[in-house]
């Protein structure tokens, strides 16, 4: 039997040993396939004669029938990938105990898109949506010159239709579609006609599943007003807001476009409520503060007013804390009010800090542009190894903003995050000295290629004024700061301790190469330091390698970093996006 050898081809060897045939006719069946890498798995998966090898009832008559149909079968499979003029040679070898078929496939040139014609009818024209139509055409996936396949053709149509359904036109549908193949030119002309249907508007909202908690919690979160134009993003946004409130374990938000009127489609919210109170425990490990155990308590109906209380007791090797926060449901004006109290102790780099802090905070705005104002009073005791201890009291007011402009908050690929805060102790009568603290942190995500991503980070802090407490000063180093250096090991040296400083500057540039959809490798450079003057703020550097995993909870990373100034390697772990 003849064999072929070519550098562009791989050989796929498939064996079938049906038990029935061995016992009855003692015949083995075998198929060899030579085809380009991109097509050999396709043929292996879909060729009927290959699939029959796993059938224990395969016999000689069935084998001969499949052989007779094999060429047409292979042509049909290759046509789905745009190969309409393949050369398929099949050689057979029939022996007493072996039936063997050998396929050699020369697929020929792949068909490419020569012309695309997309037509729209329906309200999309009546609503003067010419810019929308142009954008849909520009985003069409199979532009002229692109390789054609049935799979890509189907995906392009589904994407186009999904874009219309998600935006204003939930009844959009394809009237007709056609792919005209020109075999002699290896070209295809595509034509698709879509009826957008009418423009839908939202009606009133109906809430189902409410038992423990007041439906007003959902009503105050709802940004959708009767008469608003239908948009799936609005429904998804409402679903997210309800889940983030913390009162519900599952939420489903939809619009009844089938039974409701076009100009008032009801919005239906179905919820499953969480238990009123829960108690949980946990354990973990941080390369910053060591091993930890934690006890959490949550009550979602404090005073019978649907106020939410969240408390936690956390013990770590380097830090211990007792926290409690009372949160009021969002008001009709969109304000989110909370009252917090914290007792904590940290012992890091020779500085032991004990605090008692109470704060009142009001936040508002969507996650894309979130703001807050707050006020608080802090009592602090600091003990430094080899230096004097101190006790301070400050009353502060604060303001902050957070901008989120990323394509996916859980695992961003493109966009940026920015957080800016200012805190001030303006009155000598309430504080041991006046000061202003300013802090800015930004992180940007840049897709350089399909699986290559650049992540940059910059962090700046400054304290101006008098006797600021250690809680408002800066130290650097650790997992989310300058990797390669111990947690908060960069700052002012006082006695045998590293104390906080007035100025902070850290940054990072990280290149991530995703090897699969979930796993990737990273190389990075970190820099930064903390000092009492800008002149003495000299950054130190670190270099490292890491592994990344896109887990369901967000990106998880493990890094090995080398600190240039210390000459030491350190291991770091990080979870999620810290904004």
Q: Is 145 exposed, middle or buried (0-12, 13-18, 19+ CB in 10 A)?
A: exposed
pLDDT at residue number 411: 87
pLDDT at residue number 337: 97
Walk me through the domains of the chain, giving residue ranges and CATH numbers: 10-106 (3.10.20.310), 112-195 (3.10.20.310), 202-273 (3.10.20.310), 330-575 (2.40.160.50)
Tell me the C-alpha distance between 33 and 36, whole Å.
Answer: 10
pLDDT at residue number 57: 87
Phi and psi at residue 189, to the nearest 5° = -110, 125
DSSP state of 23: H
Residues of the chain with pLDDT under 70: 1-26, 128
Taken as a whole, the chain contains a residue count of 579
Q: What is the DSSP string of 389-437?
A: -EEEEEEEEEEEEEEEEES-SSS-SSEEEEEEEEEEE--TTTSSS-EEE
* CA-based torsion, 6, 7, 8, 14: positive or negative: positive
Give me the residue label for tokens 């926290």: 323
pLDDT at residue number 26: 66
Tell me the C-alpha distance between 526 and 548, whole Å.
Answer: 17
Cβ pair 576, 549 in contact under 8 A: no
Among 363, 506, 367, residue whose Cα is nearest residue 441 = 506
Among 255, 262, 185, residue whose Cα is nearest residue 224 = 255
Among 472, 480, 470, 482, residue whose Cα is nearest residue 540 = 482
The pLDDT tens digits for 392-407 are 999 999 999 999 999 9
Among 306, 129, 277, 296, residue whose Cα is nearest residue 215 = 306
Residue 520 DSSP SS3: strand
Cβ pair 16, 32 in contact under 8 A: no
Cβ pair 132, 118 in contact under 8 A: no
pLDDT at residue number 14: 44
pLDDT at residue number 128: 67
Tell me the C-alpha distance between 537 and 464, whole Å.
Answer: 15
377: Cβ–Cβ under 8 A, 6 or more apart, which residues?
A: 357, 358, 359, 393, 394, 395, 396, 430
């Amino acid at each position: 039997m003849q064999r072929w050898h070519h550098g562009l081809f791989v050989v796929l060897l498939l064996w079938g040993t049906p038990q029935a045939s061995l016992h009855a006719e003692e015949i083995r069946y075998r198929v060899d396939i030579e085809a380009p890498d991109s097509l050999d798995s396709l043929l292996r998966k879909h060729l009927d004669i290959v699939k029959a090898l796993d059938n224990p009832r395969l016999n000689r008559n069935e084998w001969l029938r499949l052989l007779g149909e094999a060429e047409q079968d292979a042509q049909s499979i290759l046509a789905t990938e745009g190969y309409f003029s393949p050369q398929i040679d099949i050689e057979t070898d029939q022996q007493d105990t072996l039936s063997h078929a050998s396929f050699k496939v020369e697929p020929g040139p792949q068909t490419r898109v020569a012309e695309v014609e997309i037509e729209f009818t329906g309200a999309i024209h009546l609503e003067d949506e010419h810019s929308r139509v142009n954008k849909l055409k520009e985003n069409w996936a199979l532009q002229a010159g692109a390789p054609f396949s049935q799979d890509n053709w189907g995906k392009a149509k589904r994407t186009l239709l999904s874009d219309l359904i998600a935006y204003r036109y939930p009844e959009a549908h394809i009237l007709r579609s056609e792919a005209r193949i020109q075999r002699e030119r290896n070209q295809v002309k595509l034509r698709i006609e879509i009826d957008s249907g009418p423009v839908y508007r939202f009606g009133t909202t109906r809430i189902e599943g409410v038992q423990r908690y007041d439906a007003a919690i959902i009503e105050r979160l709802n940004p959708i007003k009767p008469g608003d134009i239908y948009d799936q993003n609005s429904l998804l946004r409402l679903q997210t807001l309800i889940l983030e409130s913390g009162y519900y374990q599952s939420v489903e938000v939809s619009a009844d476009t089938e039974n409701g009127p076009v100009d008032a489609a009801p919005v239906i919210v179905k919820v499953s409520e969480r238990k009123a109170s829960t108690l949980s425990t946990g354990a973990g490990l941080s390369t910053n503060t060591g091993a930890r155990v934690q006890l959490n308590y949550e009550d979602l109906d404090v005073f019978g007013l649907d106020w939410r209380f969240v408390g936690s007791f956390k013990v770590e090797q380097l830090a211990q804390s007792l926290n409690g926060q009372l949160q009021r449901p969002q008001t009709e004006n969109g304000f989110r009010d909370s009252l917090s109290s914290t007792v904590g102790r940290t012992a890091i780099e020779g500085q032991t800090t004990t605090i008692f802090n109470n704060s009142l905070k009001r936040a508002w705005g969507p996650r894309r542009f979130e703001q807050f104002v707050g006020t608080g009073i802090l009592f602090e005791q600091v003990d430094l190894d080899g230096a004097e201890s101190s006790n301070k009291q400050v009353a502060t007011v604060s303001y902050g903003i957070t901008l989120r402009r990323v394509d996916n908050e859980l695992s961003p690929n493109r966009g940026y995050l920015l957080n800016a805060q200012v805190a001030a102790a303006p009155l000598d009568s309430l504080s041991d000295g006046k000061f202003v603290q300013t802090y800015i942190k930004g992180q940007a995500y840049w897709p350089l290629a399909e699986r290559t991503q650049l992540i940059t980070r910059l962090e700046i802090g400054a304290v101006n004024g008098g006797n600021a407490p250690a809680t408002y000063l800066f130290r650097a180093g650790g997992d989310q700061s300058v990797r390669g250096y111990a947690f908060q090991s960069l700052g002012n040296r006082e006695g045998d301790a590293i104390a906080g400083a007035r100025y902070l500057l850290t940054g990072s540039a990280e290149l991530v190469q995703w090897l699969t959809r979930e796993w990737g490798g990273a190389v990075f450079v970190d820099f930064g330091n903390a000092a009492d003057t800008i002149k003495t703020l000299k950054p130190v550097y670190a270099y490292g390698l890491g592994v990344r995993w896109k887990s369901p909870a967000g990106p998880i990373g493990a890094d090995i970093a080398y600190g240039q100034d210390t000459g030491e390697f350190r291991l770091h772990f990080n979870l999620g996006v810290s904004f």
